[in-house]
Amino acid sequence: MTVRGRWKPVAVAAAAAVAVAVLGAISTDLGDWYYALHQPAWKPPDWAFGPAWTLIFSLSAVAGVWAWHDAPGCAAREWLLALFALNGFLNVLWSLLYFRLRRPDWALVEVVFLWLSVALLIGVLGRYSRRAAWMLVPYLVWVAYAGALNGATVSLNAPFGG
């Protein structure tokens, strides 16, 4: 494999991770509406979300590159790309629903699909690269935690969309 061939997946994975992170950040509006929400006592401080997502996106990019290199062929790689694209879409969609549309109740339904997409990625990556699959476990745990936080916020503030 050429040097370019080895670095192209790294560049694509990094660009994709940055794109999802930027779209998610643009979709996140921590304005008066958000600060007026009642939050559970166990919610981390707002500043902690940036570093957590940076770590998750970095691990996801590394996992994607490892799985890409370990996948047995073109069809497997296309499947990986499709699953990562679906996951990125669902990740951004959650932010849009929660922050832009101000519908944490809708985001609570959507977070189930986001969690399932991470679990599916772990399962598929595990076929080709166990180390890549393990890199996504923190993402799965974080989405589960975020889902619980989302659920608690809905419980404390519903109904939405008046």
pLDDT digits (tens, 9 = 90+) for 113-127: 999 999 999 999 999
The reported pLDDT for the residue numbered 11 is 83
The answer to whether the CB of 125 falls within 8 A of the CB of 132 is: yes
C-alpha to C-alpha distances, 52 to 44, 123, 124, nearest whole angstrom: 11, 23, 24
Q: Residue 44 has which token pair?
A: 């981390």
Per-residue pLDDT at 3: 58
Which residue ranges of the chain lie beneath pLDDT 70?
1-5, 162
SS3 content of the chain, % helix, strand, coil (to 5): 85, 0, 15
Residue 48: what pLDDT? 95
The pLDDT of residue 1 is: 57
Residues 129/134/135/137 CA torsion (nearest 10 deg): 140
Rounded to an integer, what distance in angstroms lies between the CA atom of residue 3 and that of residue 53?
30
Residue 91 structure tokens: 């990740």
What was the pLDDT predicted at 87? 97
> Hey, how many other C-beta atoms are within 10 angstroms of the C-beta on 114?
22
Q: Amino acid identity of 150? A: N
Determine if the peptide bond prior to 159 is cis (ω within 30°).
yes
Look-up of token digits 């890199």: 135
